[in-house]
Amino acid sequence: MTDPTRVTDQTGRPAAPRGARDPFVDWVRQATPYIHAHRGCTFVVCFGGEAVADPGFAHLIHDLALLHGLGVRLVLVHGARPQIEARLTERHSELRYVNGLRVTDDAALACVKEAAGVVRVEIEALLSMGLADSPMAGVRIPVASGNFVTARPIGVLDGVDYRQTGVVRRVDRQSLAQRLDAGAVALMPPLGYSPTGEVFNLSAADVARSAAIALAADKLIFLIEEPGVCDESGALVSNILSSEVEALLAAAPAGHPGALPEDLAQALRAGADACLHGVRRVHLIDRQRDGTLLRELYTRDGSGTLITGQPYEGLRSARTEDVTGILELLRPLEERGVLVPRSRERLETEIGHYFLMERDGLVIACAALHPYPQQRMGELAGVAVHEGYRGGRRGDKLVTHIESVARTRGLTRLFVLTTQTAHWFQERGFLPATRADLPTEKQALYDRQRNSLVFIKDLSA
């Protein structure tokens, strides 16, 4: 007998109770804006030979295939260091690095060519999979590789002849763009060629940087062996500016205790230079975390370190188009009685008084400054921080900014009315006051039923 309380979907499987949140559906809905935003964009993705040798490399290829299926134009740049070193060891050849760069003699160059060829074939094979029970089922991904990179030798540096180790001289943007326009995934090995027919061993980071700049790529992504850039406490730094990278590298130079791992240092240098040449976003993410690429690209907070030329999370004056975002931010606090409800019409009228913090298009914090110039006072109102972004001192930054704006406008005192956050404001220098201390105009509007507490901060101190 059928249980009338048992709810099933169209396939007969148990369905979630009506009204229950489905994590999968929630994720798809949250990812949708990014799916639309990334379609037609060009991403250059760089990963080392360590990723290729990893047993889980197929999962990364599946994720890359998904990006391609979602309309992303992909350029893949691979390294081959462990594969090269394995071949050199087998042939009892010398492994020599100076300042993080391999000295590529004739024996090493032969190993570089062989390893790069094998890695290329492995990647092409995985991108050609089409088993019915795999994530690649029904997928047809053309792969294009070739002599896209013209290179030159590094030459002799500090007395060291690096032989066939080179640097990128030029990337054939037109040929690469043609392959991408045709729907192919472009595959670039760490090799370059000279007009005289020489072959050079290149840094994959250099190739990726040069390709991203040549193509004016929307993103340059490094899949590295570390989580990203971490601070002194070991916490991941989610965003750094390209202008900060040089100081970061200088603070931990190669060969010193605490030096950054070489692949991270190379990615930082290449990423900062790409930003200076017009690439808007460079991502450094841990390739060892399964699914990290998708998390970085299709969630708001990502999973690694982002390098940008301009601040990723900005504080600015609000504009009319921000009204909806501010209303959504304020609504939960209004429903709990923490804030006084504001209508859209009122907010549109007062939008010039608001300041906000924005992260990737989402309003994550806001506050307003309502001036009373005759009394040289200002009201701090509508302070709100998105529940997913608390703990980053964003409220403090907003209040500090509003205090600075108030001072520039000749205001000497800032007051706030609150019912549930008195301690938070007291901890920031606001002192208890009375309704009689408010500007006369504000006293007339005071809601006796709400019975808000009054706090005032002296800005002239």
330-384 pLDDT, tens per residue? 999 999 989 999 999 999 999 999 999 988 778 999 999 999 999 999 999 999 9
In the chain, the percentage of residues whose pLDDT exceeds 70 is 92
Compute the distance between CA of residue 378 and CA of residue 373 in angstroms, rounded to an integer. Answer: 8
Pairing type for strands 453-458 and 413-418 reads antiparallel
Q: Which residues have CB under 8 Å from 277's CB, separation 6+?
A: 213
Compute the distance between CA of residue 322 and CA of residue 366 in angstroms, rounded to an integer. Answer: 10
Question: CA dihedral in degrees (43, 192, 121, 101; nearest 10)?
Answer: -90
pLDDT tens-digit readout, 371-389: 999 999 999 999 999 987 8
Strand partners, 104: 163
Owner of token pair 């004016």: 216
Greatest alpha-carbon span in the chain:
89
| pLDDT at residue 4 in the model | 45
Compute the distance between CA of residue 14 and CA of residue 318 in angstroms, rounded to an integer. Answer: 46
> Can you list the positions of beta strands (E) in 300-408?
305-308, 313-317, 354-359, 362-372, 377-385
Task: Please state the pTM of the whole predicted model.
Answer: 0.73
Amino acid occupying residue 305: T
Element at 454 (helix H, strand E): strand 453-458
Compute the distance between CA of residue 189 and CA of residue 202 in angstroms, rounded to an integer. Answer: 9
Element at 406 (helix H, strand E): helix 394-408
Under the banding of pLDDT at 50, 70 and 90, the label for residue 271 is very high
Region 115-130 average pLDDT: 91
Question: CA dihedral in degrees (45, 49, 54, 60; nearest 10)?
Answer: 10
Amino acid occupying residue 214: A
Strand partners, 313: 359
Which among 206, 111, 98 has a CA at the least distance from the CA of 161? 98
Instruction: Supply the DSSP symbol for 387.
Output: G
Answer whether 9's CB lies under 8 Å from 15's CB. Answer: yes
